[in-house]
Structure 1
């Protein structure tokens, strides 16, 4: 190859706009990406573990429906919208699958087993979403859409475990008193 052509080619590549080059992410950003990846896997595993420990086969069906629907919607949007990632690595940014998966699991856990388990799951899911932004894989809209898809699918398909036991909570008020009435069938 002619040296002049090689030099011109090298200069051309060096002058391309940043959007045509992949941004290298190193150090702390890679560590955050990895920890977010772990969180995105750990939450569905935790949901499955809860189902198996409780032998909650109805919950297994509901969680599976939510998971399949979340994945289907997310993949359909990724391949139809084709939004470029902030690190310019590909055109599958919208919506965030990591965030959709983790929020689907968190919403399933919260809806099925209550806020005492759901709140920590939502905190981990929020971290997963943040890690995708910090790691330059998604922007805020990608993460918000993923969270809405995941949580929405779980809320559609998941029924509270408390219904099996006919848990009932009702506010009570009268002359100068306020309270909460709770009952449950064992």
Structure 2
């Protein structure tokens, strides 16, 4: 049994590792299934869908956390987001390198286990979050709804890149840089 005084904030950061691995694979020599732009569209859409589903579930179920701090335990948002990105990473690189493709699940699993160890979630919360995240990723990957969306016009070329930003005081966000030529 884990010690009740176990505390770490690592789960707040490593949940983003699978997202970073999605965008690092090509640079490391692994061939992705989609272009960089399509990977961005898929991760953005999957994140929005996962976040929306988590928000609705937490507001609807209002389960109390194991530490009694709030009534938003079910399902685990950290686990859902991490498993969403891990499943997208697996889909992108499974044909190129199965070990790299599956590496995101190590970080997603560690995130989920730390949520329980930190006494922030019940086991059912992380399992539901993981299931939700994987389901959203599979749907977005198969459906590929934004594949026709382009960011180019005949006379101008527009490109952009986005990446997660983690700051001090447990703040995080998304940085988007756009280049118009």
TM tier, smaller: 0.5 to 0.7
Distance change >3 Å, CA 44–CA 103, structure 1 → 2: same
Distance change >3 Å, CA 118–CA 65, structure 1 → 2: same
Alignment deviations for residues 114-138 of structure 1 (CA, whole Å, 9 cap, x no partner): 1322321101111111100111000
Match of 1:98 among 71, 78, 87: 78
Question: 2:80 & 2:138 partners in 1: Cα distance?
Answer: 13
- The equivalent of 2:11 in structure 1 is 36
Q: Which has the higher helix share?
A: 1
The normalised TM-score by structure 1 is: 0.64
- The equivalent of 1:179 in structure 2 is none
Distance change >3 Å, CA 107–CA 82, structure 1 → 2: same
Corresponding residue pairs, total? 131
Kindly indicate whether the alpha-carbon contact (under 8 Å) linking 2:17 and 2:104 is maintained by their aligned counterparts in 1: no
Question: 1:66 & 1:93 partners in 2: Cα distance?
Answer: 21
Structure 2 unaligned regions, length at least 5: 143-181
Alignment deviations for residues 15-39 of structure 1 (CA, whole Å, 9 cap, x no partner): xxxxxxxxxx64xx212xx122221
> How far did residue 50 of structure 1 move?
4.5
Question: 2:82 & 2:27 partners in 1: Cα distance?
Answer: 19
The normalised TM-score by structure 2 is: 0.66
Kindly indicate whether the alpha-carbon contact (under 8 Å) linking 2:63 and 2:73 is maintained by their aligned counterparts in 1: yes
Question: 2:24 & 2:18 partners in 1: Cα distance?
Answer: 10
Pairing 1:78-93 to 2, within 5 Å after superposition: 78-93=58-73
Question: 2:44 & 2:24 partners in 1: Cα distance?
Answer: 13
Which structure's CA Rg is the greater one? 1
Kindly indicate whether the alpha-carbon contact (under 8 Å) linking 1:86 and 1:139 is maintained by their aligned counterparts in 2: yes
Match of 2:123 among 135, 140, 146: 140
Match of 2:45 among 41, 57, 65: 65
Alignment deviations for residues 90-111 of structure 1 (CA, whole Å, 9 cap, x no partner): 0010000000011001001001
- The equivalent of 1:163 in structure 2 is none
